[in-house]
Structure 1
Amino acid sequence: MRSAVQSDAGEILTLQRAAFVDEARRDNDFHLPALTQTLRDLEQELQSSTAHVAILGARIVGAVRTRQVEDTLYINRLTVAPDWQGRGVGTALMGAAEREATAKRASLFVRNYGEHSVSDFYSRLGYVPADPGGSAQHAELVRLVKDLTR
Structure 2
Amino acid sequence: MADLLCGTYYPSIDQKGRMSFPTKLREILGAEFFLCQGHDDSYIAVYSPEAFQEYCNKLHSLPGKKGDDIRRILLAGADKQVPDKQGRIFITQQLRDHAGITDEVVVIGANNRAEIWNKSKWESFSSNISQDEINDALADLVL
TM range (shorter): 0.3 to 0.5
Return the TM-score normalized by structure 2. Answer: 0.33
Structure 1 or 2, whichever has the larger Rg, is 2
Q: Relative to total residues, which structure has the larger strand share, 1 or 2? A: 1
- Considering Cα pairs closer than 8 Å and 6+ residues apart, tell me whether 1 or 2 has the greater RCO: 2
Return the TM-score normalized by structure 1. Answer: 0.32
